[in-house]
Structures are given as structure tokens and as C-alpha cells.
Amino acid sequence: MAENKKMVEAITSMDEDFAKWYTDIVKKAELIEYTSVKGCMVIRPYGYAIWENIQRILDGMFKQTGHENVNMPMFIPESLLQKEKDHVEGFAPEVAWVTYGGSEKLEERLCVRPTSETLFCEHFANIVHSYRDLPKLYNQWVSVVRWEKTTRPFLRSREFLWQEGHTIHATAEEAIEETERMLNVYTRFCEESLAMPVVQGRKTDSDKFAGAEATYCIEALMHDGKALQAGTSHYFGDGFAKAFDITFTDKNNKMQFVHETSWGVTTRLIGAIIMTHGDDNGLVLPPAVAPIQVVILPIAQHKPGVLDKAAQLKERLSKIARVKLDDSDNSPGWKFSEYEMKGVPLRLEIGPRDIEQNQCVIVRRDNREKTVVSLDELEQKIPELLAAVHDGLYQKALANREARTYACTTMEEIPAALEKNGDGFIKAMWCGDEACEDKVKEVTGVGSRCIPFKQEKLADTCVCCGKPAQHMVYWGKAY
Amino acid sequence: MAENKKMVEAITSMDEDFAKWYTDIVKKAELIEYTSVKGCMVIRPYGYAIWENIQRILDGMFKQTGHENVNMPMFIPESLLQKEKDHVEGFAPEVAWVTYGGSEKLEERLCVRPTSETLFCEHFANIVHSYRDLPKLYNQWVSVVRWEKTTRPFLRSREFLWQEGHTIHATAEEAIEETERMLNVYTRFCEESLAMPVVQGRKTDSDKFAGAEATYCIEALMHDGKALQAGTSHYFGDGFAKAFDITFTDKNNKMQFVHETSWGVTTRLIGAIIMTHGDDNGLVLPPAVAPIQVVILPIAQHKPGVLDKAAQLKERLSKIARVKLDDSDNSPGWKFSEYEMKGVPLRLEIGPRDIEQNQCVIVRRDNREKTVVSLDELEQKIPELLAAVHDGLYQKALANREARTYACTTMEEIPAALEKNGDGFIKAMWCGDEACEDKVKEVTGVGSRCIPFKQEKLADTCVCCGKPAQHMVYWGKAY
């Protein structure tokens, strides 16, 4: 029991130390464990099961939109990485280099992929010849490596898991449409499966992906008022195609360059879930990705009939939800804390008196609301309650974001708003000049997050220089 | 059409050049494409879809037997790799070493995992304390790297995809049981999903996994009479536990070392499928893992009603099988060749006359048998025909193996049998002495494949030295 008791010790409260609260949760909910390689972590069964649910749902959405999975090598020869100038400049400083194979020094260094544009480009150049070969709509689920200085589980690690979509198209219009389509897929996934509202927008030029013409993104606001980039979708134009000579003959037998996109989300989404929904009792999981959606806890389980009934319920409810029965001899109190820590959306309690009355008690993780439910109505009630948890999480996160989004028209208002209300999104006008973008960050501490698709005209002039404004921008402190 | 025509060119025949036949298939069935990194390949959508089916089925079997998925880092610090003496000796000569992170030289080299025992051990030592924490039944789906000199797609590549199960147990008995359980899972998978008969056995000591007490394996016989190791399951005893100090307190509060296993199969299984079932027209896929199980080919598709009917069938049959409709304007002859090359188990042809008669023609890929089927009976007939293809493939492979398994009682008989009947399995008695094992290989060219669980007593004495025999061994040339 000594081991177990550790689990119910309270975690650091969010208000006291948000960063510590976060790492307490990733450890105590058994999502990850550290390793002897800095910035590389073990994703434990409970954490990995969340990722498997994310994968399953997203993979289905990718396949529905016509994408196929492939697998590229993890190594990129240095000369291949260097083919696209902006791309290599962006990534070379943070890649891991393989220099030896066994005891032999390699003739050319290989980097462990930080992202796979160059590999996909080499492949596309090999397999595409005619307009009939287009489009190619590819995706892969792999891990990538970026040699970060400071690391945090899920949010910034040296190796992380992700999916990277890479597509090529006959025309710029088609490629732009794809870039937007996949941003919409990510948005729908975040809102419908993670209960996490996001702002869709475009990155400013200084914040684009290395080699992209345009980077679109979705930005979410965490509990602590910091912004988190939850997914990106890049339009490359024909820049990579020219660097890698990816051409095709069109219907008029004319040689053309392809137009390319890439898009990705990572295990960072698990960090986003924690910081969007978690509370001082631990993780709170959106039902769609929760490894356990309903935990059945028998009460007074030594009494005759209780464990049998609980086992029957587990069997019966497994048809409609991911259900776990905990019939261990830990105390109910310990179990309550344990499954709160693990963020299980619904807790179903059943004891001798419940059985007598043909009912059980269901407790929602998000708001602790208790409902007494007839055992005859579980097939209807459980999906309703799971949907209610999802809605509750979404509405709470949306309300948090709205309460923490401040429209500012002068530079002075920015730190004042953050000071008064806590960190959050700043909405402010911008002239489009990078110098102003830098100055806002320098003076107020918030960087540009995106130029949202939904524009508002808060003022006529740039919040920084007073010249005519071109865009309304979301600014914030970022993970 | 120029592009397309390339596809129907005949491939090299198996009898003429088996190795070339094999690489023709992997390329022309669009399973892989080479890259500029030797020994690293792109697994293309059709090849990857086979792997996805393998993963889905095996992952289900692993979860049914109580295993959970996790994800370990891809990097192993040199000092960690060195903790178990036999293990490092086995793997260090063939690992890729990362020596730089960005522009900084690392203080300690990291190898890209060739296998992950050391990482799992480090993790187990961190998380296991009491007998209540046992067993841990973990698996991961990742890629690993081994710096091979000579490489062949799927069979031996520098990076390959696999799953690696790693488990720890309180007792040796439990761990041995697990090792056997997983070998049985592999066997069942190969036979029931890949239609590939395998011989179960134990490796001789010279052929054990680096660090294992015992390595169990399944061995399959390819078309050309060469043996292929299709999966392995290792029992480690407490050797790794002692090297990594993985202990737990038992029920009597006594400190004990855990007992460990690991087991894996790789994308090599795709090579095994090709070389077990393929023919001179291309790939032949077992239905359980075929990305397309039924291809619908409209005949005279310009005639009114044909394409509509074909589309209706596709919609209807998608409920019972993985179905593709090819309504492109390629000729039926071209399409026949294309889907034969891709090994699609069933081809469904439907033309104007068929529609009049409310029927279609279904052709099996494995034996080209044609069946005229009433459109009203497809839901019954298609599963039957898929099962018949599976059985046909299995029986043919089994017959091939039986015809090519030769019992020999003297050394002289071995080359004579291979000479007369072609390569295959040699069954012969062995005294258990490594010197004899080496000599058999040196003199006859066949190495020990395994000591099969199903023993036969072919003679009283070792085929090599004449001393009393301990085991009947399968010998063969190997991939």
C-alpha cells in the first residue's frame, strides 16, 4: 500500500506553480517517465493510449479526405537537407547527426529527420511524371528529432511523435485548398475530439515554417493564459519543387513544377489537453480520447453480489464505451483520487443499496456532478453524460479564452491588460512591418501568434507605429 | 498511357533469377522505392497498407493477451548499451552513432536503437518496486536501425519497422510461459493471416539473441527453398535484471530480480509473403492482409448502365470486404495484369451481358479459377472465395515445404538431397556440439535453423560426428 498511497498525495496547485502542477500531472497520471537521455521520454501505457486514440481519429479523417500512409527513412543525407536554402537554415542548427555506422566513419553525415520535406521531395521527383500521377496525398506517423536546449514533456522534447502530411498538386489553387482543408481537419479534431477551442490564422512572415510561402496555424489558450500552437499547415508554392526538380507533363504536354503542402500535429496535443482541461485534482480527459471513459467502482465490494454485479456492468457497458472495473482491494477513497488524477470522464459507483434499488451513481470528472441512474437506462445515459462532459469542457475552455482575450489599441494598454487580468491573448492592429512586430514583443513581452482568419477592425492604425493597419493580430506569450 | 504500359511488362521469371524476380515485384507492385541512403527505403502506400493490416491484426492479438503499447526514445547512450555484456557485443558493431546535436559535439555518443532491451530495462528499474507492480507486459511499434553491409528490401534493411514486446515477471516459469505464448501468437498469425506454415523451435546456442538464455523462433520455407526466420521470442532469465538492477520485493518482503522476455516481428514478413505466395505474374496476397481484397473491373464500361452497376456493387460490397472499383479508361487487359501484379485475391468482372443475367464473374488470383456468381449471392460467395484463396495459399505453401524437407542421416546425403531436389529444409540429428554445427555448415552449406518443438528420431547418432544425438535439427540456407 505504501506505493499506492503516494498516488493520492495532492499535486502542486495550479495557482501556486503552474509549471510544477503540469509536471506533477504528467508523472502522477503516469503519462511519461524520464530517461537518461535529456529531452527524450518514455510515453507510458496510459499516455500512449491517449496518443493511440488521437491517431485513430485523425487517421480516419485523413483517409476520408483521400490521404494514404507511407513510411520514409529516418535519415537524411546532409546534401539532401541542403537542397532548399531556407529549409536547411531553419533546421540544420537543431538536428542530431549520425557520423558513424558501427566502427566506420560515414562518408557523408546523416541527420535524424527533424521533418521530412526533403525525403518526400526526393521521392516525389522519382515517382511523378505526368499530370495523371497527381495529386499525391501522403501522410506518415513517425517520430522526429530536434536538438532543443530546454525541454518539457510533450511540449518541447528532443524526440517527439507526430504525423506529417505531404502533398503535391498540379496547381497552386489546389495546393492552397489542401492547406486550408487540413487546417480545418485539425480545427474540427481539436474542437470535436479534444473539446479545445482554437483560433485559425496565418503566421506572420517572421514565424513561417522554413521554406514555406505561407504557414497556417491553430492557436489555443491554456489555463495559465499562455498560447499554444496546436497544429500547422504549410503552403510551399513551387519552391521545393524547383529545388528538387519535381516536374510533370501537363495535358498539353508542357513541363510544369508541382505545388506542395505539408501539415502536422504532434504529441504536444497531449500537453494541450492537460493545460486546457486539467485541474488541481489532476488530469481531465475529453471523452473522445480518454483511454478509460467510465471507471466502475464497486462500493462495499466484500458484500455478496456487489462484485458480480460490477463485473456484469463492465461486460455490458463495454459495448458502448471504454470501461474499466477496478475491483482491487484499495479503498474507495483511494480509487476516487486515482481516477480523478487520471482524468477518467465518468465514475460509476455501485454498492449493495444501489443494487437493491436497481440504480447506480455516476459522477462527472469535469464538475463532480452526481447523477443517480437506473440500471435499465445506462445505455442511454452514459453516452449522454459523456457528451455532456465534452460540452462542459469545451464551454469552460471557450469561456476562459474569451475572458482572457483583450482588445488593445495602444502599446500601453497591453501590459496593463495582462497585469490586471492575467496572461491571455491580446488582439491588436498591425501595419505588417516586422520591425513593429519585434518592438511589440520587446516592449510588452507578447509575440505575434497569428493573423486570424476572422478579422476585426479595432482601429485604423498599427498599435506600434501609428501607420495604417493591415491586419488584426493575436499576440501572446507562447509555449 | 506510356507510364501505364510499363506496368504490364512481364517481370523476370522466378526460375530464371529468383533475386531479380523478387526485386521486380517489390518495385512493380509499388511496395517500395529506393532512396539516396543505402539500405533505407520508402514504403509506398500499397506496401504500407499491408503493414497496417499486419499491425492491426497483431496489435489486437497483443492486447487480447494483456499487453499495452508504450513508446521508448530512439536513442541509447553508449554507457546504457554497454550494461549487459553479451548484448553490447552482439549489437555495437552494427549501430549508427549520433555524435553531434546541432553544431555541438555530444559528451556521450548515442546510438540509434538497434533494439530496445536496454531502454526498457532502465525504465523497468525506475517503475517496479513491489510484486504488485508485476507483470509488466509492454510492446512498441517503432523502427530500428542496424548498419548492415548488404541490404535487400524488407529482408535486410538498415532501418526497418517492427514491433518489440518486452515483459517482466516475478518468476522464471511465468516468463518462459510468456515467451512460448508469444511464439504461439506469431505462429497463429502467420498461419491464419499470412497463410504461411511455420516450424516452431529453439535456436541453438550459437544463434541466440545477444543476451538471451533461450531464443525461440518460427522458420518458414520460401519458394526457392531458402529458410526465413519470421519471428523470434526470447527468454532472458534474470540476466538483464541483474545488469540493470531490476528488483522487487516479493510477498515475503524479500528482494528478488525480475525475469524478462522480448519478442518481435518486422516488415520482413512482407518479404516472406512475397516469397511464399508470389508467382511469375507478381504478388499474391493472403486475403487477411491484402489492402484490396476484391477489385471490381467493369467490362465494356462505355455501355449504358455498366459503370452505375459497378459503382453500386462497390458500395454494397464495401460492407463485407476491402473493395476497389477501377473505372479508369485503361483497357481491361491492362487492368487484369495490374491487379495480378498487385496480388489482389479476387477480381470481379461485370459487363453488359452479366448485368442482363444478374451475374458477374469472379476470378481467384491464386489459381485463376473463374466462378460465375449470381449478384444476389455475393455476400455469401465473396467471403467463401476469400477463405478458399487463403486455404489454397496455405495448402500450396505447406505442400512446397513438405516436398522440400529432406531427412538425412549422413553428411553425404545432405548435398545430394539439395542437388537432386533443390534447396529446402534438411532434417538431421545433432549431438549438441557447436563444432559439429559449424562443420555441417562448412561442408554442406546449410546452417542450423532451429531445434523444432516437434522432434523426430531419425537416427541415434549425430549426422556429423557419430556420437549420440541429442536433437533433431532443421538446417537450411537462410535469408
Q: What is the DSSP letter of A205?
A: G
Residue A4: is its pLDDT beyond 50?
Answer: no
The burial of B61, by beta-carbon neighbours within 10 Å (0-12 exposed, 13-18 middle, 19 or more buried), is given as middle
Q: Does A112 touch chain B (CB under 8 A)?
A: yes
Residue numbers in A near B143 (CB within 8 A): 71, 74, 142
Cell of B415: 548435398
Grouping H, G, I as helix, E, B as strand and the rest as coil, residue B457 is coil
Please state, as a whole number, how many other Cβ atoms lie within 10 Å of the Cβ of residue A459. 16
Cβ atoms of B261 and B178 closer than 8 Å: yes
Radius of gyration of chain B (CA): 25
Residue of B nearest to A91 (CA): B102
Side-chain-side CA neighbours of B394 within 13 Å: the count stands at: 18
Residue A326 DSSP one-character state: -
Beta strands in A196-335 (DSSP E): 199-202, 214-221, 227-237, 247-249, 255-257, 259-266, 294-298, 323-325
Q: A71 and B46 in contact (C-beta within 8 Å)?
A: no
Cβ–Cβ contact A110 with B under 8 A: yes
Cell of A113: 529527420
- Specify whether the CB–CB gap between A427 and A462 falls below 8 A: no
- Please, what is the end-to-end C-alpha distance for chain A in angstroms? 38
- CATH of the structural domain B292-391, one choice from 3.40.50.800, 1.20.1630.10, 3.30.1330.90, 3.40.718.10: 3.40.50.800
Q: What is the pLDDT of residue A92?
A: 87
CB atoms within 10 A of CB A164: 21
Dump pLDDT digits (tens) for A302-352.
999 999 999 999 999 999 999 999 999 999 999 999 999 999 999 999 999
Contacts of B51 in chain A (CB under 8 A): 71
**Nearest CA among A101, A116, A292, A55 for reference residue B141:** A55
Q: Do A48 and B70 touch (CB under 8 A)?
A: yes
Quick check: A36 contacting B, CB < 8 Å? yes
Percentage helix, strand, coil for chain A under 3-state DSSP, each rounded to 5: 40, 30, 35
A92 contacts B69? CB cut-off 8 A? no
A49:B69 CB<8 A: yes
- pLDDT tens column, B96-128: 999 999 999 999 999 999 999 999 999 999 999
What is the percent of chain A with per-residue pLDDT over 70, rounded to a whole number? 98
CB contact B328 to A (< 8 Å): no
- 3-class SS string, A402-416: HHCEEECCCCCHHHH
* A239 neighbors A217 (Cβ within 8 angstroms): no
Whether the CB of A127 is below 8 Å from some CB of chain B: the reply is yes
SS (H, E, C) A10-39: CCCCCCCCHHHHHHHHHHHCCCEEECCCCC
- How far does B354 lie from chain A, in Å, by closest CA? 31
Q: Does domain A7-277 have CATH number 3.40.50.300?
A: no
Please report which confidence band the pLDDT of residue A154 belongs to, taking 50, 70 and 90 as the band edges.
Answer: very high
CA–CA distance, B473 with B446 (Å, rounded to integer)? 11
What residues contact A37, with CB distance under 8 A and at least 6 apart? A158, B73, B75, B76, B77, B110
| CB–CB contact B49 A69 (8 Å) | yes
What's the ipTM?
0.95
**What would the mean pLDDT of A101-116 be, rounded to a whole number?**
96
* B197-248 pLDDT, tens digit each: 999 999 999 999 999 999 999 999 999 999 999 999 999 999 999 999 999 9
Backbone φ and ψ of A130, nearest 5° = -125, 165
Give the pLDDT of residue A448.
98
- What the block records as the C-alpha cell of B23 is 526485386
Residue B208 sits at φ, ψ, to 5 deg, of -70, 160
Q: How far is B455 from chain A (nearest CA, A)?
A: 39
Interfacial A residues in 41-100 facing B (CB < 8 Å) = 41-45, 48-49, 51-52, 68-77, 80, 92-100
pLDDT the model gives residue B8: 54
> Strands A136-145 and A159-169: what pairing?
antiparallel
Contacts with A206 (C-beta within 8 Å, 6 or more apart), sequence order: A434, A437, A438, A448
Whether residue A198 is predicted with pLDDT greater than 60 in this model: the reply is: yes
What is the least distance, in Å, from the CA of A9 to any CA of chain B?
18
Given a contact cutoff of 8 angstroms between Cβ atoms, the answer to whether B459 and B226 are in contact is: no
How far apart CA A412 and CA A100 sit, in angstroms, is 55
Strand partners, A141: A163
Task: Kindly determine whether residue A100 and residue B100, on different chains, have CB atoms separated by under 8 Å.
Answer: no
Fold of A405-476: Translation Initiation Factor IF3 (3.30.110)
Which chain A residues are closer than 8 Å to B92 by Cβ?
102
Q: Which three cell numbers stand for residue A18?
A: 503552474
Test A72 with B35 for CB contact under 8 angstroms.
yes
Confidence band of B9 (pLDDT split at 50, 70, 90): low
Look at phi and psi of residue A402 and say left if phi exceeds 0, alpha if psi is from -120 to 50, else beta. Answer: alpha
Q: Work out the minimum CA distance from A96 to partner chain B, whole angstroms.
A: 4
The rounded Cα A56 to chain-centroid distance in angstroms is: 14
Q: Is A159 on the interface with B (CB under 8 A)?
A: yes
> Quick check: A367 pLDDT over 60?
yes
Please state the rounded mean pLDDT for residues A168-177: 98
Candidate CATH numbers 3.40.50.1100, 3.20.20.370, 3.40.50.800, 3.60.9.10; the one for domain A292-387? 3.40.50.800
List b or e across A346-374, with b for residues whose CB sees 16 or more CB atoms inside 10 angstroms.
Answer: bbbbbbbebbeeebbbbbbbbeeeeeebe
**Residue B477 reports pLDDT greater than 70:** yes
The answer to whether B112 contacts A112, with C-beta atoms less than 8 Å apart, is yes
Does residue B325 sit in helix, strand or coil? strand
Q: What is the mean pLDDT of residues B123-138?
A: 97
Q: Are B455 and B439 in contact (CB under 8 A)?
A: no
**A35 and B93 in contact by Cβ < 8 A?**
no
- Chain A neighbors of B3, CB-CB under 8 A: 129-130, 132-133
Domain range annotation of chain B:
2-277, 292-391, 405-476
pLDDT of residue A197: 98
Question: C-alpha angle with apex B54: B49 to B60, nearest 5 degrees?
Answer: 125
- Cβ of B45 within 8 Å of Cβ of A68? The answer is yes
Q: Does the domain spanning B2-277 belong to CATH 3.20.20.80? A: no
Q: Over 90: is that where the pLDDT of B251 sits?
A: yes
What pLDDT score was predicted for residue B4? 44
**Average pLDDT, integer, range B370-384:** 98
Report the distance separating Cα B338 and Cα B281, nearest Å: 9
User: How far apart (Å, rounded) are the C-alpha atoms in residues A466 and A474?
Assistant: 18
Q: Which of A36, A59, A130 to mutate to test the interface with B (most CBs of B within 10 A)?
A: A36
The beta strand positions in A321-413, using DSSP E, are 323-325, 346-350, 359-364, 370-374, 405-407
Q: Pick B200 or A8 by higher pLDDT.
A: B200
- Cβ-Cβ pairs closer than 8 A, A with B, add up to 158
Distance CA B41, CA B31 (A): 10
Mark yes or no for CB contact B123/A35 under 8 Å.
Answer: yes
Measured from the Cβ of residue A322, the count of other Cβ atoms closer than 10 Å reads: 17
B97 contact residues in A (CB cutoff 8 A) = 98-101
Q: Are residues B471 and B428 in contact, defined by beta-carbon separation less than 8 angstroms?
A: no
Mean pLDDT across chain B, nearest whole number? Answer: 96
The Cα–Cα gap between B384 and B386 comes to 5
CB contact under 8 A, A75 and B51: no
Which residues of chain A make contact with B45, given a CB cutoff of 8 A?
68-70, 138
Q: Which residue has the cell 493511440?
A: A52
Q: Does A132 touch chain B (CB under 8 A)?
A: yes
Q: Do B159 and A75 touch (CB under 8 A)?
A: yes
> Cα B420 to chain center, whole Å?
29
pLDDT of residue A10: 80
Q: Does A9 have pLDDT greater than 80?
A: no
Q: Which residue of B has its CA nearest to A158?
A: B73
Mean of pLDDT over chain A = 96
Amino acid B471 reads H
> Which residue out of B34, B63, B74 would a mutagenesis test of the A interface target, given it has the greatest number of A Cβ atoms within 10 Å?
B74
Band (pLDDT 50/70/90 cuts) for residue B3 is very low
